[in-house]
Chain A
Amino acid sequence: MKTQKRWTRRSLLRSGALLGGAALAAACAPTGTPQVVEEVEEVSAVPTERETAVTCIWRNNPNEKRSMEEAFEVYKQIRPNVTVEFLVVPSGNEGEQKLLSLFAGGTPPECFASVFTAGLVDYFYRDMVTDFVPYIERDQYDQSDFEDVALDTFHFGDRQVGMARGGVPTCLFLNLDLFDEAGIEYPPSSCEDDSWTWDKMVEVAKALTLDTDGDGRLDQYGLVFGNFNHNQFPMLWGTSSFLPEQLQYGIMQTHNMLDETVIASFQAGADLMWKDQVAPSPEASEALAALGAGGVFMSGRIAMYASIAGPSLVSDANFNWGMAPLPRGASGIQQRIMTWTGPLCMGWGCGEPEEGWSLIKFFVGEDGQKLIAPYATIGTSRKSLREWWSQQYSTDSARLLEVQEMGYAHGMETPNCRTVGWPEVTQIIGSGFDPLWLGEKTAAECVQEFAPALEAKLQELYAANVDTAKDTFPGYTG
Chain B
Amino acid sequence: MVLRQSNTRREAVLFYVFVGPALLGLLIFTLGPMVASFYFSFCDYEIVRAPEWVGLANYHKMFFVDKLPLKSLGVTAYYSFVGVPIRLVAQFLVALLLNRALFGRSLFRTVLYLPSIVSGVALSLLWVWLLNPEFGLVNYLLWEVFGIQGPRWLSSPDWVIPALIVMSMWGIGGGIVICLAGLQGISEELYEAAELDGASGLQKMLRITVPHMTPVLFFNLIMGIIGSFQVFTQGYVMTGGGPSNASLFYVLYLYWNAFNYFRMGYASALAWVLFAIILAMTGLIFRSSSAWVYYEGSVQM
Are B132 and A283 closer than 8 Å at their CB atoms? yes
Q: List 24 A-B contacts (CB under 8 A).
A: A12-B16, A16-B23, A16-B27, A20-B31, A23-B27, A24-B36, A26-B32, A28-B51, A31-B47, A33-B49, A35-B50, A97-B259, A100-B47, A100-B259, A104-B48, A118-B260, A126-B262, A282-B155, A283-B132, A283-B134, A286-B128, A431-B242, A431-B245, A438-B243
A438 touches B155 (CB 8 A): yes
Q: A16-B27, A117-B260, A287-B135 are in contact. Are A128 and B48 (CB under 8 A)?
A: yes
Is A468 part of the contact surface with B, judged by Cβ < 8 Å? no
- Asked whether B200 is an interface residue with its Cβ less than 8 Å from the other chain, the reply is no
Tell whether, in the assembled complex, residue A431 and residue B244 are in contact, meaning their CB atoms are under 8 Å apart: yes
Contact with A along B223-264 (1 / 0, CB 8 A): 000000000000000000111110000000000100111100
For A90-104 the 0/1 string (1 means CB < 8 A from B) is 000100110010011
B54 proximity list for chain A (CB < 8 A): none
A243, B101: Cα distance in complex, Å: 71
Residues of A within 8 A of B133 (CB): 283
Question: Total A-B pairs in contact (CB under 8 Å)?
Answer: 113
The reply on A421 being an interface residue by CB < 8 A is yes
B262 in contact with A118 (CB, 8 Å): yes
The answer to whether A31 and B132 touch across the interface, beta carbons within 8 angstroms, is no
Interface membership of B181, Cβ < 8 A: no
Taking beta carbons and an 8 Å cutoff, which residues of B are in contact with A? 9, 12-13, 16, 23-24, 27-28, 31-33, 35-36, 39-40, 46-51, 67, 128-129, 132-136, 152, 155-156, 241-245, 256, 259-262
Interface window among A46-54, A170-178, A180-188, A422-430: A422-430
A141: interface (CB < 8 Å) = no
CA separation between A96 and B47, bound complex, in Å? 12
Please pick, from A20, A35, A104, A421, the residue contacting B35 in the complex, using a CB distance under 8 A. A20
Chain A's nearest CB lies how many Å from the CB of B77? Answer: 19
Please give me the residue from chain A that is nearest to B253 by CB atom: A427
Residues of B within 8 A of A367 (CB): none
Q: Contact at A24–B39, with CB atoms within 8 Å?
A: yes
Cα–Cα distance between A104 and B49 once the two chains are bound (Å): 8
**Distance (whole angstroms) from the CB of A38 to the closest CB of chain B:** 14
Q: Name the residue of chain B whose CB is nearest to the CB of A287.
A: B135
Instruction: Determine how close the nearest CB of chain B comes to the CB of A283; give it in whole angstroms.
Output: 5
Contact call A126/B49, Cβ cutoff below 8 A: yes
Query: What's the least CB distance linking B140 to chain A, in Å?
Result: 12
Q: If A6-B9, A31-B47 touch, does A93 touch B36 (CB 8 Å cutoff)?
A: no
A316 within 8 A of B: no
Q: What are the residues of chain B within 8 A of A118 when measuring CB–CB?
A: 260, 262
Is the CB–CB distance between A424 and B261 below 8 Å? yes
- Contacting residues of chain A (2-57) with chain B, CB-CB under 8 angstroms: 4, 6-7, 12, 16, 19-20, 23-24, 26-28, 30-31, 33, 35
CA distance A152 to B88 in the complex (A): 58
Q: Within 8 Å of chain B (Cβ to Cβ): is A145? A: no
Pick the contact of A20: B12, B27, B129, B132 (CB < 8 A): B27
- The answer for the CA separation of A273 and B289 in the assembled complex, in Å, is 54
The answer to the question of A136 belonging to the interface, with a C-beta cut-off of 8 Å to chain B, is no
CA distance A431 to B136 in the complex (A): 24
Across-interface contacts of B23 in A (CB, < 8 A): 16
A93 CA to B243 CA in the complex, in Å? 19
Closest 6 CB pairs of A and B: A23-B32, A27-B36, A30-B50, A434-B243, A287-B135, A423-B260
Tell me if A281 counts as interface (CB < 8 A to partner B). yes
Interface string of A262-297 (1 = CB under 8 A from B): 000000000000000000011110110010000000
Confirm or deny: A435 has a beta carbon within 8 angstroms of a beta carbon on chain B: yes
Are the C-beta atoms of A93 and B260 separated by less than 8 Å?
yes
Instruction: Flag whether A402 is at the interface (Cβ < 8 A).
Output: no
With a 10 A CB-CB cut-off, give which of A30, A281, A427, A432 has the most chain B CB atoms: A427
| Nearest CB on B from A445, distance (A) | 12
B-contacting residues, A396-443, CB 8 Å = 421, 423-424, 427, 430-432, 434-435, 438
Cβ contacts under 8 Å, A453 to chain B? 67
Q: A93-B259, A438-B152 are in contact. List 16 more A-B contacts (CB 8 A).
A: A20-B31, A20-B32, A23-B36, A24-B32, A24-B36, A30-B50, A35-B49, A96-B260, A100-B48, A127-B49, A286-B132, A424-B261, A431-B241, A434-B244, A435-B244, A438-B156
Contacts of A30 in B (CB 8 A): 50-51
Smallest CB gap from A96: residue in B = B259
A122 within 8 A of B: yes
For B260, list chain A residues within 8 Å (CB). Answer: 93, 96, 117-118, 423-424
